[in-house]
Structure 1
Amino acid sequence: MSEPLQVNPLAEVSLRRVGREGHPLLVIDDVLLEPDALVAIAAEAPFSPPTGTYYPGLNAPLPRSYLETLLPVLRPSFERAFAITSDTPLVANGFFALATHRLEDFGPWQKIPHYDQLRPDHLAMVHYLCRGQGGGTAFFRHRTTGFESVTQQRRETYLITVQDELDRVGDKLSGFTGPDTPNFDMTDSVEIRFNRLIVYRSNVLHCALFDGARLEANVHAGRLTANCFFRPR
């Protein structure tokens, strides 16, 4: 039987604000005491292409023990960073993720920043479980609208504007999302580091940075992450 997952009591927690809108970005380094135990679990997990998402690779189920271990310990940091009240129950779900698609496999919407959900009280988390990888996660401002996040009220304006831009300049999207992506300005970024975890609002415009990443279907050599989402019940 594998050892139970444990949170590192000496994990380094930092909080900063992103962009003009000042969205919280929580960064926690060395979050698990034995992160390789989680990688070993991923090595035995049944990865497959996801359905109904734009994720450029493979997903697999996370063990229940992962979120059961993390959430109670991280909850105080969530409350401080995102103004979640202590009596608000949170629903969590997530998956292992391996980015495997090559640039030529990306569609236009996968070459620009995106948001996950429209509600600002929904949170997204990425836990980097890979070594020797380039890239990370970046946050963006859409130049035409000035939006750094997308709410229900902003959604129609944003989607219509971006689709029009893609129709006009989609052929200029010649690389992965990054500081040179047309019509977007990168406002901040977090570098990949093994056993680093980041949390941000799900409606913030963001994207994985794949430049320098090894996009392989191998949990020991590829860009392995644990991706999770939290919402009020």
Structure 2
Amino acid sequence: MRQPRLRFSRIGQQQQPLLVVDDFIPQPEQLIQYALQQADVRQAAGLYPGLRSTAPAAFGSYLLQYLAQPLQQCFALDPTQLQQIESYFSLVSTPAAELSPMQSIPHFDRPCPDELAAIYYLCDERHGGTSFYRHRSTAYEAITPERQDSYQQALQADFHKHGIPKGYICGDTPLFEVIASVPARFNRLVLYRCSSLHSGDIKPDYKYDLNPGSGRFTIASFLSAAKI
């Protein structure tokens, strides 16, 4: 059994923290088997371009327990405050031609630097990893509450100047530039701030596969402070 391997880095001009953990779970295949038994699979709400279902709570508990010390060291967060975890099995299924404009650019999960997001890969490098971006006209690499209004205004100006984006973003464009990329790898976890601009690397010729055992299958997790 391989031991987990952790790699921490800071990316972009704003030095946003990024943690990559390889061989994260001892028996990842069990998660695929669990997912195949779920009946409540739905089109995702929000910007995710595909299907989602609830992942087992044990996954989030394991994440918090195993990464308690790295969370403190890498993100300067007290792991005891991050007690609310949402985790979802996620499977890309939306054709590029059906994406909304906001699905065709990098997104941020929440404008909250003290909350974290994770992508856990249950697929390999053939399905594309995750890239992190800088918005060219504002130089923003992460969106905070103070930046939201100016970012939205700048996006509208970009759309007017360059046209409405179409399809999946996968690399540099006139609006955004890549500051870091993490390839997909089976049993790899990528952890970052919810405010970081990012997108899955879905190539134009990607072959959509709705089988969790062979498609672009991941678990998306969101870590936030417990509500009182």
Indicate the residue corresponding to 1:168 in structure 2. 161
d(CA) in 2 for partners of 1:67 and 1:23?
23
Equivalent position of 1:118 in the other structure: 111
- Give secondary structure in 1 for the equivalent of 2:192: strand
Looking at structure 2, the residues matched to 62 and 134 of structure 1 have their Cα atoms a distance apart, in angstroms, of 20
SS of equivalent residue, structure 1 residue 152: coil
Q: Pairwise mapping of residues 110-149 of structure 1 onto structure 2 (< 5 A)?
A: 110-131=103-124, 133-149=126-142
Q: Structure 1 length as normaliser, TM-score?
A: 0.90
Superposed displacement of residue 85, structure 1? 2.6
What residue identity is the alignment partner of 1:118? P
Distance 1:26 1:213, change over 3 A: farther
Say yes or no: does 1:55 pair with 2:48.
yes
Q: Which residue of 1 aligns with 2:10?
A: 17
* Corresponding residue number in structure 1 for 2:191: 199
Question: 1:192 and 1:132 mapped to 2: Cα distance?
Answer: 4
* CA deviation map 1:8-64 (0-9, x unaligned): 78100010011000011000000011100111111112321123x011010001112
Amino acid at match of 2:93: T
Instruction: Kindly state the Cα deviation for residue 174 of structure 1 after the two structures are TM-superposed.
Output: 4.5
- Please tell me whether residue 158 in structure 1 is matched to residue 158 in structure 2: no
User: Which residue of the partner structure matches residue 38 of structure 1?
Assistant: 31
Q: Are the counterparts in 2 of residues 117 and 203 from structure 1 also a CA contact under 8 Å?
A: yes
SS of the residue corresponding to residue 133 of structure 1 reads helix
1:189 maps to which residue?
181
1:28 to 21, 24, 42: 21
Aligned equivalents of 1:67, 1:140: Cα separation in 2: 26
CA distance in 2, matches of 1:206, 1:87: 26
- The 3-state SS of whatever aligns with 2:13 is coil
Q: 1:89 Cα shift? A: 4.3
Q: Which amino acid aligns with 2:181?
A: S
Please give the per-residue CA displacement for 1:127-176, whole angstroms capped at 9, x wherever unaligned: 000135232100011111111111111100001110221233234x3542
From 15, 39, 60, give the equivalent of 1:67: 60
Equivalent residues, number: 224
| Identical-residue share of aligned pairs (%) | 32
Q: How far off is 1:192 after superposition?
A: 0.3
User: 1:103 and 2:96 equivalent?
Assistant: yes
Q: 1:132 to 1:24 in 2, by over 3 A?
A: closer
What is the root-mean-square deviation in Å for CA atoms of aligned residues?
1.7
- Determine if contact 1:58/1:98 at 8 Å carries over to the other structure: yes
Listed as ranges, the gaps of 5+ residues in structure 1 are 1-7
1:29/1:119 CA distance change after superposition, 3 Å? same
Structure 2 distance, partners of 1:178, 1:222, is 18
Deviations 1:84-135 (A, max 9, x none): 1355343111110000111101111111111111110010000000135232
Supply the distance in 1 between the matched residues of 2:206 and 2:118 (Cα, whole angstroms): 19
* TM-score, length-scaled by structure 2: 0.92
Q: 1:87 to 1:60 in 2, by over 3 A?
A: closer
Question: Structure 2 vs 1, CA of residues 215 and 84 (structure 1 numbering), >3 Å: closer, same or farther?
Answer: same
Worse-superposed segment, 215-224 or 80-89: 80-89
**Mapped contact 1:121–1:201 kept (Cα < 8 A):** yes
